[in-house]
């Protein structure tokens, strides 16, 4: 039985001591929400993970510098959408730092207590007058009731906000973990997602917080793929302000908190995949029988990002040859004569398509019916005799994905 309770209406402000605000600062058109602040009433310890893309946005550079100097006294995160502040040179860096300063002045703290996130179009300078004015207005409207609106303000091509919270019963008391994420395209498991902010009122040391975040990300955001591209801005923060007065330090508390954090991150990651640009299918791919978990993950991920596989998903075409083709080019050695492949709507092993590398006597209509469902599972055992297993979640590749990204800047 889980030691945590999911709060379906929860958000990044569900933990004690956190507030937020969403503002229409004029970065987007038609008075849409485009700026969010997430603020803690007290100092936070912070862990973070960033994109592994070599081309990184100004906020990533500035946040790395900020956390290198201060990871235990953070107070706020400022997030803008529509503009990535990426590939913007020294001006972009100056604007990211100016955003920190503007927030610090509005909130009554110092610039190195502010983290900044941006998402949107690459290669365009931030409209700093609008941003600064939005921060000043937003700082006056902070509330614990604004978590839902904050999740809306950070959306770009997302069609719906992604937010959740969980309460955890620990030996020392109850703590809450909240979070919000955005991402619908340019999603690939090379760090996390495009943007995510997680909060908790637990008291946790920075080094422990870092380990918990890495584990959670590797089990969730690093197991999703929509289009195989990794953003210049990918960032995830985990902020802990200790407002509950409950510490996470002993083994039991660490295990229970970690389980809840993993659940929260996995749920947010699933929301991202389900909202993938143009996506009509949510597909779970499980690989077993590999020599190691890393091998299994590499095979599963190669299948998940294959354009031929993803277009087969879109067309409800149970073309399992594409699945094996992708597995075979993953760079992992296995014996194709030992491969077993199943698909299913509820259970991954409902219908076996391949046994020991050879097609079974399945009915094509049955396989097509599975692929026609909005959600289904695939299980591939590569027959190497190992205990390596991994699961990833992906989408189909539809006409709408092309349309959305062809018109992205217009």
pLDDT of residue 183: 77
Decide: 56 and 50 in contact? Cβ < 8 Å. Answer: yes
Q: What is the mean pLDDT of residues 218-234?
A: 75
Q: What is the pTM of this model?
A: 0.88
250-287 tens-digit pLDDT: 999 999 999 999 999 999 999 988 887 667 899 999 99
User: pLDDT value at position 190?
Assistant: 46
What pLDDT score was predicted for residue 181?
94
In 3D space, the residue among 92, 149, 91 whose CA is nearest the CA of residue 120 turns out to be: 92
pLDDT score, position 396: 81
* List of E strands, 24-172: 35-50, 74-80, 114-118, 162-170
Residue 194 in this model has a pLDDT that exceeds 50: yes
- What residues have CB less than 8 Å from 103, skipping those under 6 apart? 37, 76, 78, 111, 114, 116, 135, 139
**What Rg do the C-alpha atoms of the chain give, in angstroms?**
22
What does the pLDDT look like over 348-378, one tens digit per residue? 889 999 999 999 999 999 999 999 999 999 9
Q: Once rounded to an integer, what is the mean pLDDT over residues 178-200?
A: 71
> Residues 126, 131, 137, CA angle at the centre, nearest 5°?
175
In the prediction, which pLDDT does 52 show?
82
Region 143-158: mean pLDDT is 94
pLDDT exceeds cutoff 80 at 225: no
When pLDDT is averaged across residues 80-95 and rounded to a whole number, the result is 96
pLDDT (0 to 100) of residue 189: 42
Residue 278's pLDDT is 66
Which domains does the chain show, CATH number per domain? 4-274 (3.60.70.12), 282-406 (3.10.20.340)
Per-residue model confidence as pLDDT tens digits over 47-60? 999 988 888 999 99
Cα–Cα distance list, 405 to 77, 263, 278, 402 (Å): 28, 31, 10, 5
For residues 96 and 160, the model is more confident at: 96
Residue 188 pLDDT grade (very low, low, confident, very high; cuts 50, 70, 90): very low
pLDDT digits (tens, 9 = 90+) for 1-22: 578 999 989 999 999 999 999 9
Lookup: tokens for 301: 């991920």
Share of the chain above pLDDT 70, in %: 91
CB 20 within 8 A of CB 12: yes
User: Mean pLDDT lowest for which of 46-55, 153-162, 215-224, 271-280?
Assistant: 271-280
Give the per-residue pLDDT at 400.
Answer: 57
Active site amino acids = 193
Confidence of residue 156 (pLDDT cuts 50, 70, 90): confident
In the structure, what pLDDT confidence band is assigned to residue 403 with cuts at 50, 70 and 90?
Answer: low
pLDDT of residue 186: 43
Mean pLDDT of the chain: 91
115: pLDDT strictly greater than 60: yes
In 73-202, which ranges are E strands?
74-80, 114-118, 162-170, 173-182, 195-200
Torsion angles phi and psi, residue 144, rounded to 5: -70, -10
DSSP string of 355-374?
ETTEE-S--HHHHHHHHTSS
Name residue, tokens 């591209």: 229
Whole-angstrom distance, CA of residue 177 vs CA of residue 338: 44
Instruction: Give the contacts of 291 (CB within 8 A, at least 6 positions apart).
Output: 332, 384, 386, 388
**What pLDDT is attached to residue 16?**
98
- 135 versus 277: the higher-pLDDT residue is 135
Residues 331-340: tens digit of each pLDDT = 999 999 999 9
> Which of 153-162, 217-226, 304-313, 338-347 is predicted most confidently?
338-347
């Amino acid at each position: 039985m889980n030691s945590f309770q999911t709060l379906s209406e929860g958000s990044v402000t569900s933990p004690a001591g956190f507030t937020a605000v969403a503002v229409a600062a004029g970065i987007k058109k038609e008075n849409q929400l485009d700026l969010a602040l997430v603020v803690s009433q007290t100092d936070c310890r912070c862990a973070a993970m960033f994109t592994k893309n070599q081309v990184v946005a100004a906020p990533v550079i500035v946040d790395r510098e900020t956390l290198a100097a201060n990871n235990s006294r953070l107070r706020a995160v400022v997030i803008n959408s529509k503009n990535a502040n990426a590939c913007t040179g020294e001006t972009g860096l100056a604007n990211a730092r100016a955003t920190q300063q503007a927030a610090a002045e509005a909130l009554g703290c110092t610039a190195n207590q502010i983290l900044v996130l941006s998402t949107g179009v690459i290669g365009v300078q931030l409209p700093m007058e609008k941003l600064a004015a939005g921060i000043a207005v937003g700082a006056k409207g902070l509330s614990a009731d604004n978590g839902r609106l904050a999740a809306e303000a950070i959306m770009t091509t997302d069609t719906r906000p992604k937010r959740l919270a969980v309460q955890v019963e620990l030996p020392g008391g109850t703590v809450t973990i909240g979070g919000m994420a955005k991402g619908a395209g340019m999603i690939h498991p090379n760090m996390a997602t495009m943007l995510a902010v997680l909060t908790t009122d637990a008291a946790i040391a920075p080094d422990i917080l870092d380990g918990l975040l890495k584990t959670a990300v590797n089990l969730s955001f690093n197991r999703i793929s929509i289009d195989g591209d990794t953003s210049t801005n990918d960032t995830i923060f985990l902020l802990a302000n200790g407002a509950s007065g409950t510490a996470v330090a002993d083994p039991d508390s660490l295990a229970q908190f970690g389980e809840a954090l993993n659940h929260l991150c996995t749920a947010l990651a699933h929301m991202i995949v389900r909202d993938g640009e143009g996506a009509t299918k949510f597909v779970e791919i499980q690989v077993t029988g590999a020599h190691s978990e890393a091998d299994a993950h590499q095979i599963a991920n190669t299948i998940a990002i294959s354009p031929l596989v993803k277009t087969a998903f879109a067309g409800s075409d149970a073309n399992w040859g594409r699945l094996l083709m992708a597995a075979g080019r993953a760079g992992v050695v296995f014996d194709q004569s030992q491969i077993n492949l199943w698909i299913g709507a509820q259970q991954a092993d409902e219908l076996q398509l391949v046994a020991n590398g050879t097609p079974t006597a399945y009915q094509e209509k049955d396989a097509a019916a599975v692929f026609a469902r909005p959600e289904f599972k695939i299980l591939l055992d590569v027959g190497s005799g190992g205990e390596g297993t991994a699961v990833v979640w992906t989408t189909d590749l539809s006409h709408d994905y092309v349309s959305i990204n062809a018109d992205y800047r217009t």
